[in-house]
Chains A and B, each alone.
Chain A
Amino acid sequence: MRKLTIPEEEYMLPGHTACLGCGATIAMRYVLKALGKKTILSIPACCWAVIPGVYPHRALDVPLLYTAFEVTGASISGIREALDVLGKEDVNVVGFAGDGGTADIGLQALSAAMERRHNVFYIMYDNEAYMNTGIQRSGSTPWGAWTTTTPGGKKRMFKHEPKKNVAEIMVAHNIPYVATATIAYPEDLIAKLRRAKEIKGPKFIQIFSPCPTGWRHSPDKTVEISRLAVQTNFFPLYEVINGKYKVSIKPKNPKPVKEFLKLQGRFRHLTEEEVEYIQHEIDENWKALLKKERCSQEE
């Protein structure tokens, strides 16, 4: 006998080639647990394009189609329409892309797929840079982070632009379901995917997935950092169903963001003032999110 809080079925095999403590792998594991066997994945160039291993190896027990970097949205649209013609409407079609393939390179295809209202899932696992190719900055990299293309150093060339909020871009498409989730809260993540499964139409879920290699943290801290991101309001968890915001987790006493930053080598160069600036931005964003929740709930 065992008491489990998440489904027991396993669709991800061991022996894949992800780095130690990879957050994106945990994200994929939960997504497949939530959606089940009747799922088709489409993956562009990203970490998950190499994690299953070289041909002829496979690490997943569901069909997987590799696509070019910029066409995940187009590819899932095509799969969906073909399945509908064949009468297989109960199959979930999932685009599973990294933050580079979503926020930067694949944004046009994603936007078009969402606008055409295909009945698909689009999952962005957000590791906040192009990790697969060697930690280059992406639109989703947060302010102040070190990457190989935004080195810190004496000239202080760390990223000076804020993180692109893809979930809000998706809300602006007026799609029926948008949510953010993270791997430290698997029950919440799986509940969100199950809710999304009941909705017909485009669904977008952003999963915050720490990357030990690129964030320069110890691999055993992956889940802890993911939890701290929520507890410090660095990455708030919320869902937007038909335009109505609902914040999933509201930390009673949010921790200072410093606790989240200090575990990661990519923020090591930041001074006290810069940490304060990040704290200020987080507080403002959190207030704005709560305001959106209040405004959208009252008619």
Chain B
Amino acid sequence: MPIILPEEPTPIAKVPSTENKTGGWRTFRPIIDYEKCIRCYICWKFCPDTAIDFAAPEKHPAPKDALKRFDTVEINYDYCKGCGICANECPANAIELVLEQNVGGEEE
């Protein structure tokens, strides 16, 4: 009996997990208060979901003029699971956790 090999002998996972929008898991939504954010990137450093992106410096207000040359951060709500590590670690207390149902129909 001839041995039939599958077309692709080694199964290779080709679909990136970015297809999987884990934002729906969230109970609490972290919201950054840009008036307090000191752009230290500690939230980016500890995020287990790599859901914190950099954005252009002028995109958000800064508490001090000296900070305006640094990039700012944004939370990617498509993937943020709402664990709250960013809010707990933020040295400026600039991130607040808000119950998702209280957020209302604001920006998504």
Contacts and interface: CB of A to CB of B under 8 A. Distances in A.
A219 B82 CA distance: 9
A3 B82 CA distance: 25
Nearest to A12: B50
A56 interface: yes
Interface string A29-55: 100000000000000000000001101
Contacts of B39: 2
A212 B76 CA distance: 22
Contacts of B44: 4
A183 B19 CA distance: 27
Contact of B88 (A2, A5, A183, A224): A224
A203 B12 CA distance: 28
A1 B71 contact: yes
B18 A15 contact: yes
Interface of A is mostly: loop
A15 B16 CA distance: 9
B59 interface: no
Interface stretch (A20-28, A235-243, A265-273): A20-28
A59 B17 contact: yes
Interface string A264-287: 000000000000000000000000
Interface in A226-272: none
Interface of A: 1-6, 10, 12-18, 20-23, 25-26, 29, 52-53, 55-59, 64, 183, 186, 212, 218-224
26 contacts: A2-B41, A2-B54, A2-B70, A2-B71, A3-B41, A13-B50, A14-B17, A14-B22, A14-B78, A15-B18, A15-B19, A15-B20, A15-B49, A16-B49, A22-B48, A29-B48, A58-B16, A58-B17, A59-B16, A183-B46, A186-B45, A220-B83, A220-B88, A222-B85, A224-B88, A224-B89
Given A20-B81, A21-B84, 14 more contacts: A2-B39, A13-B17, A15-B17, A15-B22, A17-B22, A29-B48, A52-B13, A56-B11, A57-B13, A57-B16, A57-B19, A58-B17, A186-B46, A223-B88
Interface of B: 11-22, 25, 39, 41, 44-46, 48-51, 54, 57, 69-71, 76, 78-79, 81-85, 87-89, 97
